[in-house]
């Protein structure tokens, strides 16, 4: 078996000889960079389509390429069934006991046979348990189940967040996002989604347009309020009440509210919000293979999820720098219904945008379907790779030919039709615009155990250990501890006009029962400017500080402060009616002390606040101010892939012509050997004829040694000499061929050594990451507020104070 662990190459199988109907030993290695121009995989049930696509995802994982896979059937959760030990006990929980019974085997025996068949299958394709371990080591695996807690929950309806600045600045992108989001919501409600005729669509679109332009997000409760009282009085030239009376708007609000009130619908609000970036990498920067299973959802729910999800992908995509290397994969199994040729469901617009624009950002989109008639082939006209397996009907073949013709241009249609008619299981025809000619290949054995579709209970089982390893997207937050009350209470104290005071709002997790108590702390709000010419850093950051006050109230203890981000949206001007207050120390209500607090805060800022930045000297990369370590590591990994692709392309340009020249010489040498061998054969036959004629003449002729017989004998002797010379020519031709083949082997070994050296040098794991700090510019430190902040606490029956707030650290 040849080595298939090549840089940037996906081992998908072996070349299949269509004429001889047999598998060859030539490996089929697919260049991962070709996926930036997307791929489509078509094949009927039983063609091996799922196995091929799972192998593609496995290869991406081994290569460190993150991927998100949408799974409408439940098959893709099989990617988590990785058993490096290949022991029967690993397979036992996942076998089909009914199938074992049909075969007259006990479950344990059937599991043992399954384990052995998997071991043998991997061995026949040159793979072993170590490759399964490599995949598990290279990638973080997770299954998400929106609307269910079986896998990792994924919140779809928590909010209609305002899109990023890249979309807000692009009017067409903003319009498309609003259109598809509203269409998805209305389809979930079973309502008309026509953006021109539906007044519900027009109303909600205007609400989202207004709130998003103000950079405000909405949850469903907020949307209900906005529908009842929209932030505008006209829709077009019509008065709001004429266009959509309040009574009818209330009916729409009730329908959305009924959606929220459905039993079990709360699970749609649980879990982390859809964040494509977090689906691709862990917080430590490790690549992820995230499977999003939607098999348990109804058709309207699936459509709504796909619409929201694809819009999130577009938002992520537009925030990425351009690249020619593969940054990530998006795989959608069974695209049926989401990308039809005639209808225009809400998911179609963002899907078309992805296919047109994603390649510039390194996002490869792979779509799969059983039914070619369900795909909009005009939308797939620019798809670079087509994997075509066995098809079900002549109609499917005809439709596929039309699509392939629009994407690939002219080709031998009749020959391809005949070829597709004879495809067996796991045999695929691949047309790749980056290759000189199509390839017929048979898919390799999958590393994952392909048990078939998984149910929610099975996903829950396989994710029991997975959930423990998946971190929640919450930054560590300082939480005040409960403490014994050692102070007297009073009503709200009066403060002098020169002192600023704020109220910190209770968190969402604050209990409704119990008496609220406010205690005072020093508060500072600052805006700092960080600049460094060498690294190109130039940014402003807003920080909030909550610090204890000294016993006499004269000092704010900024050295003990907790630093947060911008807390302005968590502050209020008034507290809760009827709340109690812990008495202030005398110095805390003296205006001159607050002026001193401001000066000491400025000193504290300059001495103790710095912007921590990460850098990779080897790659000359510096983290962005808002970029975490995990995101920076993910960027490094992609930079390594870009560097690798450039170096491999240089090697190809350097060695390609030499290899091609040697291969051409070998081809000519092989032809010469064949000619020389043919001439030897011809000469042998001529000599045999001459010798035979001489012998026959001597035996049966009237004269034993006639003149003709002597001439023929002489000719035969000369023929024998020519045979010897021809054999020498064959030997020389064979020796020349051997020299050329040796030169080719030497050149191939030299090329492989260069590639291996590149593999050893270019590695994300070997990249050094170091931290350095940038101090704020002293002249640009701005104090936006210094004063008192009242923090909310709950007084328990035991006389303890429990905090009612949590705030994300800055």
* pLDDT of res. 474: 40
Count of CB atoms situated within 10 Å of the CB of 394: 10
Q: State how beta strands 515-532 and 580-582 pair.
A: parallel
Retrieve residue 788's tokens: 């008192």
Q: For the chain (length 810 residues), average pLDDT per consecutive 10?
A: 76 93 93 94 92 97 95 94 95 93 94 96 95 94 92 80 82 86 86 86 94 86 90 92 94 89 77 88 92 93 90 88 93 90 87 92 94 78 89 80 69 76 90 90 97 94 66 44 58 86 79 78 95 88 94 94 90 88 91 94 92 86 84 87 82 81 81 75 61 52 47 53 67 80 82 73 72 89 94 84 74
* pLDDT of res. 468: 44
Count of CB atoms situated within 10 Å of the CB of 583: 13
The residues spanned by each domain of the chain are 1-156+290-467, 161-273, 483-610+775-803, 632-761
CA dist., res. 709 & res. 713, Å (int): 6
Contacts of 354 (CB under 8 A, 6+ apart): 310, 313, 314, 317, 330, 363, 365
DSSP, residue by residue, 580-609: EEEPPPGGGG-HHHHHHHHHHHHHHHHHH-
Assigned CATH class of 1-156+290-467? alpha beta
Of the candidates 462, 500, 764, the residue with the CA atom closest to the CA atom of residue 641: 764
Contacts of 98 (CB under 8 A, 6+ apart): none
Cα-only R_g, the chain: 36
DSSP, residue by residue, 246-259: HHHHHHHHHHHHHH
The phi, psi pair for 689, rounded to 5°, reads -65, -45
* pLDDT of res. 596: 95
Assigned CATH class of 632-761? mainly alpha
* pLDDT of res. 749: 80
CA dist., res. 176 & res. 197, Å (int): 17
With beta carbons less than 8 A apart as the criterion, state whether 759 and 495 touch. no
Q: How many residues does the chain have?
A: 810
Retrieve residue 512's tokens: 């409704």
* pLDDT of res. 472: 43
* pLDDT of res. 513: 63
CA dist., res. 565 & res. 528, Å (int): 12
With beta carbons less than 8 A apart as the criterion, state whether 439 and 394 touch. no
Collapse the DSSP code of 67 into the 3-class scheme (helix H, G, I; strand E, B; otherwise coil) and give the result.
strand
Retrieve residue 305's tokens: 């999820």
Domain pair 1-156+290-467 / 632-761, same fold: no
Of the candidates 269, 274, 367, the residue with the CA atom closest to the CA atom of residue 316: 274
Burial 218-237 (b: 16+ CB within 10 A, else e): bebeebbebbeebeeeebee
CA dist., res. 356 & res. 282, Å (int): 28
Count of CB atoms situated within 10 Å of the CB of 641: 24
Count of CB atoms situated within 10 Å of the CB of 619: 18
Which DSSP helix (H) or strand (E) runs through 707? helix 707-761
Cα 771 to Cα 181, 562, 614, 765, 778, distances in angstroms: 41, 22, 4, 17, 22
Which DSSP helix (H) or strand (E) runs through 191? none
């Amino acid at each position: 078996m040849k080595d298939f662990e090549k840089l940037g190459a996906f081992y998908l199988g072996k070349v299949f000889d269509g004429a001889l109907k047999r598998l060859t030993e030539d490996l089929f290695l697919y260049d991962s960079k070709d996926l930036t121009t997307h791929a489509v995989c078509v094949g009927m049930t039983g063609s091996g389509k799922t196995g091929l696509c799972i192998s593609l995802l496995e290869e991406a994982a081994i290569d460190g390429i993150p991927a998100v896979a949408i799974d409408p059937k439940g098959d893709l959760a099989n990617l988590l069934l990785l058993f490096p030990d290949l022991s029967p006990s690993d397979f036992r929980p996942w076998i089909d006991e009914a199938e074992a019974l049909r075969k007259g085997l006990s479950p344990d025996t059937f599991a043992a046979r399954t384990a052995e068949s998997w071991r043998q299958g991997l061995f026949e394709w040159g793979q072993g348990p170590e490759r399964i371990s490599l995949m598990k080591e290279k990638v973080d695996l997770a299954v998400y189940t929106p609307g269910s807690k079986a896998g990792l929950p994924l919140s779809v309806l928590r909010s209609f967040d305002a899109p990023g600045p890249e979309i807000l600045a692009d009017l067409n992108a903003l319009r498309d996002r609003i259109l598809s989001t509203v269409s998805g919501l209305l389809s979930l409600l079973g309502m008309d989604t026509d953006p021109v005729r539906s007044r519900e669509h027009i109303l909600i679109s205007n609400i989202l347009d207004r709130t998003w332009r103000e950079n405000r997000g909405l949850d469903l409760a907020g949307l209900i309020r906005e529908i009842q009282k929209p932030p505008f009085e006209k829709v077009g030239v019509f008065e709001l009440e004429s266009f959509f009376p309040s009574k009818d708007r209330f009916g729409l609000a009730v329908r959305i509210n009924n959606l929220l009130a459905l039993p079990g619908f709360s699970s749609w609000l649980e879990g982390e919000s859809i964040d494509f970036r977090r689906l691709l990498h862990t917080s430590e920067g490790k690549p992820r293979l995230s499977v999003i299973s939607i098999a348990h959802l109804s058709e309207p729910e699936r459509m709504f999820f796909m619409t929201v999800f694809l819009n999130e992908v577009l938002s992520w995509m537009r925030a990425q720098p351009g690249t020619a290397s593969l940054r990530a994969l998006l795989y959608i199994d069974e695209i049926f219904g989401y990308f039809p040729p005639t209808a225009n469901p809400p998911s179609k617009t963002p899907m078309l945008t992805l296919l047109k624009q994603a390649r510039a950002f390194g996002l490869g989109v792979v779509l799969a379907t059983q039914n070619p008639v369900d795909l909009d082939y005009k939308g797939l006209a620019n798809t670079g790779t087509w994997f075509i397996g066995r098809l079900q009907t002549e109609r499917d073949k005809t439709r596929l030919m039309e699509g392939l013709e629009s994407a690939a241009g002219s080709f031998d249609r009749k020959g391809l039709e005949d070829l597709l008619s004879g495809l067996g299981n796991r045999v695929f025809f691949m047309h790749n615009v980056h290759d000189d000619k199509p390839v017929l290949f048979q898919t390799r054995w999958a590393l994952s155990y392909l048990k078939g579709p998984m149910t929610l209970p099975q996903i829950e089982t396989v994710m029991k250990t997975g959930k423990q390893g998946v971190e929640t997207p919450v930054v560590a937050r300082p939480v005040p501890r409960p403490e014994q009350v050692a102070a007297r209470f009073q009503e709200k104290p009066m403060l002098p006009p020169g002192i600023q005071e704020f109220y910190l709002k209770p968190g969402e997790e604050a209990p409704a029962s119990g008496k609220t108590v406010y205690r005072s702390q020093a508060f500072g709000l600052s805006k700092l400017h960080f600049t460094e010419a060498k690294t190109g850093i130039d940014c402003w950051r807003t920080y909030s500080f909550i610090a204890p006050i000294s016993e006499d109230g004269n000092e704010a203890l900024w050295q003990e402060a907790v630093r947060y981000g911008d807390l302005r949206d968590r502050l209020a001007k008034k507290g809760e009616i009827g709340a109690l207050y812990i008495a202030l120390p005398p110095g805390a209500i003296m205006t001159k002390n607050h002026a001193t607090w401001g000066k000491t805060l400025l000193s504290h800022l300059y001495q103790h606040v710095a912007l921590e930045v990460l850098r990779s000297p080897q790659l000359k990369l510096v983290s962005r101010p808002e970029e975490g370590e995990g995101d920076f590591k993910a960027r490094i990994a992609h930079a390594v892939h870009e560097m690798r692709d450039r170096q491999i392309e240089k090697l190809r340009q350097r060695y390609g012509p030499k290899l091609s020249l040697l291969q051409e010489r070998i081809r000519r040498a092989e032809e010469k050997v064949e000619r020389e061998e043919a001439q030897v054969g011809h000469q042998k036959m001529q000599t045999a004829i001459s010798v035979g004629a001489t012998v026959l003449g001597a035996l049966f002729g009237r004269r034993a040694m006639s003149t003709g017989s002597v001439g023929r004998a002489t000719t035969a002797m000369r023929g024998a000499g020519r045979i010897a010379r021809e054999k020498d020519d064959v030997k020389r031709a064979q020796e020349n061929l051997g020299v050329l083949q040796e030169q080719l082997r030497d050149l191939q070994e030299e090329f492989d050594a260069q590639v291996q050296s590149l593999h050893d040098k270019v590695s994300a794991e070997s990249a050094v990451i170091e931290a350095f700090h940038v101090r704020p510019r002293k002249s640009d430190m701005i104090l936006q507020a210094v004063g008192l902040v009242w923090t909310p606490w709950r007084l328990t029956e035991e006389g303890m104070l429990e905090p009612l707030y949590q705030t994300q650290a800055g």
